[in-house]
Structure 1
Amino acid sequence: MHTFEIGSPIVHPIHGAGILRQIEKRQVRGRLLRYYVIDFPYSDLGQVMVPVDMADKVGLRVINARTNIDTIFDTLGGNFSEAEEEESKSFHQRYREYLEKIQSGDLNQVAQVYRLLYRRSMIKPLGTKDKALFETARQLLVSEIVYARAVGDDEARTLLDEAMEDLVF
Structure 2
Amino acid sequence: MFNVGDHVVYPFHGAGTIKDIEEKDVLGEILSYYILHFPLVDVTLMLPENRINDSGLRKVIDQSELDSLIEALQNGPDLPPTTSHFSRETENLLKSGSIIDAAHLISSLSRKQTERANGLHIQDRNHLQKARQMIASELVLVNDMSEEQAYEFIDDALLEMKQA
| TM-score normalised by length of structure 2 | 0.90
The secondary structure found in structure 2 opposite 1:101 is helix
Is the contact made by 1:7 and 1:20 (CA closer than 8 Å) also made in structure 2? yes
Tell me, yes or no, if structure 1 residue 166 matches structure 2 residue 160: yes
Is the contact made by 1:34 and 1:51 (CA closer than 8 Å) also made in structure 2? yes
Query: 1:135 is aligned with what amino acid?
Result: Q
Distance apart, 1:23 and its partner CA: 0.5
Distance apart, 1:129 and its partner CA: 1.2
Which of 65, 69, 74 in structure 2 is aligned with 1:68? 65
Distance apart, 1:29 and its partner CA: 2.2
Query: 1:48 is aligned with what amino acid?
Result: L
Tell me, yes or no, if structure 1 residue 114 matches structure 2 residue 101: no
1:46-70 Cα offsets, whole Å, 9 max, x none, are 1111111211210111112213332
Which of 128, 146, 149 in structure 2 is aligned with 1:134? 128
1:91-147 Cα offsets, whole Å, 9 max, x none, are 212211111111112211111111111112222322221111111101111011111
Report the identity percentage.
Answer: 27
Per the alignment, residue 39 of structure 2 pairs with 41
Taking the aligned partners of 1:26 and 1:161, their CA distance within structure 2 comes to: 43
Structure 2 unmatched runs, 5+: none
| TM-score normalised by length of structure 1 | 0.88
Taking the aligned partners of 1:90 and 1:75, their CA distance within structure 2 comes to: 21
Structure 1 unmatched runs, 5+: none
Tell me, yes or no, if structure 1 residue 99 matches structure 2 residue 88: no
Query: 2:109 is aligned with what amino acid?
Result: L
Per the alignment, residue 137 of structure 2 pairs with 143
Distance apart, 1:90 and its partner CA: 4.9
Taking the aligned partners of 1:103 and 1:69, their CA distance within structure 2 comes to: 21
Is the contact made by 1:66 and 1:148 (CA closer than 8 Å) also made in structure 2? yes
Taking the aligned partners of 1:72 and 1:106, their CA distance within structure 2 comes to: 11
Which of 35, 51, 54 in structure 1 is aligned with 2:51? 54
Taking the aligned partners of 2:136 and 2:82, their CA distance within structure 1 comes to: 29
Query: 2:156 is aligned with what amino acid?
Result: E
Runs of 4+ in structure 1 off by over 6 angstroms are: none
Alignment coverage as a number of residue pairs: 161
RMSD: 1.7
Query: 1:91 is aligned with what amino acid?
Result: T
